Amino acid sequence: MSIEQLADIAQAMVAPGKGIIAIDESTGTIQKRFDGVGVECTEENRRAYREMLLTTPNLGQHISGAILFDETLRQSTKDGVPFAKVMMDNGIIPGIKVDKGTHALAGFPGEVVTEGLDGLRARLEEYYKLGARFAKWRAVINISDDIPSGTCIEANSHALARYAALCQEQGLVPMVEPEVIMDGNHDIDTCYDVTEVTLRSLFGSLYEHNVMLEGTILKASMVLPGSTCSDTASVEEVAAETLRCLKSTVPATLPGIVFLSGGQSDHDATAHLNAMNLAGPNPWPLSFSYGRAMQSAALAIWAKDLTGNIGKAQEMVFERARANGLAALGEWKA
């Protein structure tokens, strides 16, 4: 695939007023989400839940793409239509999570590195055949008194760059996700500093690995105080600090940035995105790639009556997509 074709896909992922729904929870993570609402984590329940999400009427009005987990990309609706086909028929680009999760970084207590490079080329080749056109890899950067270390940041940037180069070789747009984790009592300035050094390292590695930024999407965390920090930050402050950090680290060649929600409330995730777009024009489209902030409310509705509440749950999915789509334009009203 040419760089022009990769660039076209990347631009479609951040088309005006559209964003991504992340439904790529690994089996362990979806188990936690299902446990929270009292649903048994069977393969059929996972399939039925993802069918509810992906067949939401008119979802493509506000959703450009969806990130799936390996199992989901191989599944179909109860009528036997592969999810990838359902998505493409509705103008939603299929994406796939390709990392194999985080593992303790030896020698660095409290820090993790994402694994999954072994055999990745062959897996990407198969995912392309199954219909995926972009792929996601999530690195995790924890903040505590003495961390993150430079070694942890570099190890994760290196893995992200190797994965991104492989994606482009195999015709998939890499969505590179260095998530600076919100857990902790650190303040917003610490989050800013860690996010800045992480993004600098990431873009340095992407450059060294010949990754073409025109065909790459950044999935970023926002600059926020830690979840147990005694100081709070206003919507405007979070938006201003996040923009300042991104503008000082992310090349303007990048086709777009999408945010993860990372444990923010639905309202905050939408309000912060809206405020950043209101403060524009920015060098890149800024949109969303939310997991929890797209799904939580709908999951709670669906869980009450797995087959009886599909319509109501889908109305909630659509509402969250519409709200975040408006926030991607700076047109959302609380």
Q: Taking CB under 6 A as the rule, does residue 292 contact ligand 13P? A: yes
- State which residue, 1 or 117, has the beta carbon closest to ligand 13P: 117
Instruction: Write the interaction track for ligand 13P spanning residues 227-266; mark x where CB under 6 A is met and - where it is not.
Output: ---------------------------------xxx----
- Give the whole-angstrom CA distance, residue 122 versus residue 234: 46
Candidates 52-60, 121-129, 236-244, 289-297: pick the segment binding ligand 13P (CB under 6 A). Answer: 289-297
95, β-bridge pairs: 67, 134
Residues 6+ positions from 309 with CB-CB distance below 8 Å: 301, 302
- State which residue, 201 or 261, has the beta carbon closest to ligand 13P: 261
Shortest spacing between CB 313 and ligand 13P, in angstroms: 17
Nearest to 25 by CA among 77, 73, 97, 102: 97
Q: Taking CB under 6 A as the rule, does residue 293 contact ligand 13P? A: yes
Q: Taking CB under 6 A as the rule, does residue 75 contact ligand 13P? A: no
Shortest spacing between CB 104 and ligand 13P, in angstroms: 19
Instruction: Classify residue 128 as exposed, middle or buried by CB count within 10 Å of its CB (0-12, 13-18, 19+).
Output: middle
DSSP H stretches of helix in the chain: 3-13, 27-37, 43-54, 70-73, 83-89, 120-129, 150-169, 188-208, 235-247, 266-278, 292-304, 310-327
Shortest spacing between CB 264 and ligand 13P, in angstroms: 8
Q: Taking CB under 6 A as the rule, does residue 195 contact ligand 13P? A: no
Candidates 237-245, 275-283, 291-299, 306-314: pick the segment binding ligand 13P (CB under 6 A). Answer: 291-299
Q: Which two tokens stand for residue 85?
A: 């086909």
When binding is defined by CB under 6 A, the residue of 9, 12, 21, 22 that contacts ligand 13P is 22
Shortest spacing between CB 78 and ligand 13P, in angstroms: 26
Q: Which two tokens stand for residue 318?
A: 């659509």
- Give the whole-angstrom CA distance, residue 157 versus residue 169: 18
- Give the whole-angstrom CA distance, residue 186 versus residue 197: 16
- State which residue, 290 or 318, has the beta carbon closest to ligand 13P: 290
The residue with its CB nearest to ligand 13P is 291
- State which residue, 21 or 155, has the beta carbon closest to ligand 13P: 21
- State which residue, 159 or 260, has the beta carbon closest to ligand 13P: 260
Is the bond preceding residue 281 a cis peptide, omega within 30 degrees? yes
- State which residue, 32 or 78, has the beta carbon closest to ligand 13P: 32
Q: What is the CA radius of gyration of the chain?
A: 19
State the amino acid at position 108 in one-letter form: F
Candidates 55-63, 151-159, 270-278, 288-296: pick the segment binding ligand 13P (CB under 6 A). Answer: 288-296
Q: Taking CB under 6 A as the rule, does residue 116 contact ligand 13P? A: no
136, β-bridge pairs: 97, 175
Catalytic positions, written as ranges: 177, 219
- Give the whole-angstrom CA distance, residue 83 versus residue 18: 20
- Site for ligand 13P, rule CB under 6 A: 22, 24, 138, 177, 260-262, 290-293
